[in-house]
Amino acid sequence: MWNARRSLLLSKICVLVFMAALAAALIAGPWLVSWLIGFSANAHQQHTPWFLATLYSGGVFAGILLVQLYRLLHNIGQGGVFTAKNISLLRGISWCCFAGAFICLFSAIYYLPWGAVAVAAAFIGLIVRVVKNVLAQALALKEENDYTI
């Protein structure tokens, strides 16, 4: 039977799969970039170092984001949902999305489709930020409720 614990486990597995995919992408970075350039009929041959720079600088923030996401899920699994620590983690996740968007925005100078990725990353960052604000209000309500005798 499907329940909250299994849902949490599935989310954790998804995060771990993404971590593995990120590690694979970073290890196979040069091959991945050459494949992408080959795929676009060698039109971006001269941009190989730039693609690599985007991949590795974005990979740092993607790694930080995934670790924070895993810690958030771990905290929720431990029963700590409305906590200051979780709000801080959501804030970090949001900033990682914005950092990724910033990198992609600059990368759009040499490869325009990065612009679409930048918009998507910034949009996700914004949504996470709103969720963080909602959680902060929920924490304030919980504290008030806890101290109502």
Partner 1 sequence: MPIIVNLDVVMAQRKISSGELAEKIGISQANLSILKTGKAKAVRFSTLEAICEALACQPGDILEYRAPPKA
Interface ranges with partner 1 (CB under 8 A): 143-144, 147-149
For partner 1, the closer of residues 35 and 143 by Cβ is 143
CB of 138 to partner 1, least distance (A): 16
For residue 101, count other CB atoms closer than 10 A to its CB: 23
Least distance between partner 1 and beta carbon 79 (Å): 18
- Tell me how far, at minimum, the Cβ of 147 lies from partner 1, in Å: 4
CA distance 52 to 58: 10
- Among residues 4 and 144, whose Cβ is nearest to partner 1? 144
Task: Say if residues 17 and 25 touch (Cβ distance below 8 Å).
Answer: no
- In angstroms, the CA 54 to CA 105 distance is 10
CB of 91 to partner 1, least distance (A): 25
Choice between 3 and 148, CB closer to partner 1 = 148
Q: Using the minimum distance from each CB to partner 1, give the nearer residue, 1 or 149.
A: 149
Distance, in Å, from the CA atom of 46 to the CA atom of 57, rounded to the nearest integer, reads 19
Q: Which two tokens stand for residue 136?
A: 């902060």
